Amino acid sequence: MEKDVGTILQLFPLGENGLIVCWCTPEHGILRTAARNARTPGSELSGRLDLFHECELVYRPATRGGNLHSLSSAELLNPRLALRGSLVSLRLCSYMARLLLATVEQESGDAAWHTLITGAFDYVASTSPRKAILRHFEKRLATLHGIYNAEFTAAHCLQQHFQHLPTGRAELMSALPE
């Protein structure tokens, strides 16, 4: 069994009652776990697995070279409830999570990714969402990847390097105040 602290970036249904949970952890980087029966009433995981929650997770590593681990338990550490007070905050955090997932390899094991995304989520939870927050996140992400060039915007650097970035940035930027 492995143990780590992680922030939930994405959730996907798994069968009738399960979830695939995509985490960002300081020890393992981007990590995917299968949470079987997580959506059944009375499950010990019920109510603990939601977007942007930070949890202490215990999981069984995948066998046969796979990358979908089996989640055994999750203890909620920080639900970041303040994010749910604003649709724009949720959209901003969702875009940042998708951007991180699009640019970081699974199980990279670099704590910098976890520090970046949890810092961004905590900051958005403590203040009003603004365009400057997304621009700063993109700049830090491009800098961590080693591709930031001050002659261009960070968004341009990321787009040129990774080609396929999440959709919806233009709409998000128009919804965010200066």
Q: Distances from the Cα of 94 to the Cαs of 70, 147, 166, in angstroms?
A: 24, 23, 10
Here the CATH number for the domain that contains residue 73 is 2.40.50.140
Confidence of residue 4 (pLDDT cuts 50, 70, 90): very high
pLDDT, residue 47, reads 79
The one-letter code for the residue type at 139 is: K
Strands (E), 18-91: 18-25, 29-35, 54-60, 68-78
Q: What is the pLDDT of residues 131-158, one digit of tens each?
A: 999 999 999 999 999 999 999 999 999 9
Q: What is the pLDDT of residues 59-105, one digit of tens each?
A: 998 887 788 999 999 999 999 999 999 999 999 999 999 999 999 98
**89 lies in the same domain as 171:** yes
Looking at 58, 78, 98, the residue that finishes a domain is 78
CA–CA separation, 139 and 150 (whole Å): 9
Region 17-34: mean pLDDT is 93
CA–CA separation, 51 and 6 (whole Å): 11
**163 lies in the same domain as 143:** yes
pLDDT, residue 178, reads 87
Q: Name the residue range of residue 151's domain.
A: 82-175
**123 lies in the same domain as 66:** no
Nearest CA to 51 out of 124, 123, 138, 121 is that of 121
The DSSP bridge partners found for residue 2 are: 59
Q: What is the pLDDT of residues 40-50, one digit of tens each?
A: 888 888 778 99
**6 lies in the same domain as 38:** yes
CA–CA separation, 53 and 118 (whole Å): 10
**159 lies in the same domain as 93:** yes
pLDDT, residue 37, reads 86
How many CB atoms within 10 Å of residue 119?
A: 12
**44 lies in the same domain as 127:** no
pLDDT, residue 53, reads 95
In whole angstroms, what separates CA 83 from the centre of its chain?
14
pLDDT, residue 118, reads 96
Cβ atoms of residues 7 and 52 within 8 Å = yes
**62 lies in the same domain as 127:** no
**64 lies in the same domain as 87:** no
pLDDT, residue 157, reads 94
Model confidence pTM above 0.85: yes
**112 lies in the same domain as 154:** yes
Nearest CA to 76 out of 46, 58, 56 is that of 56
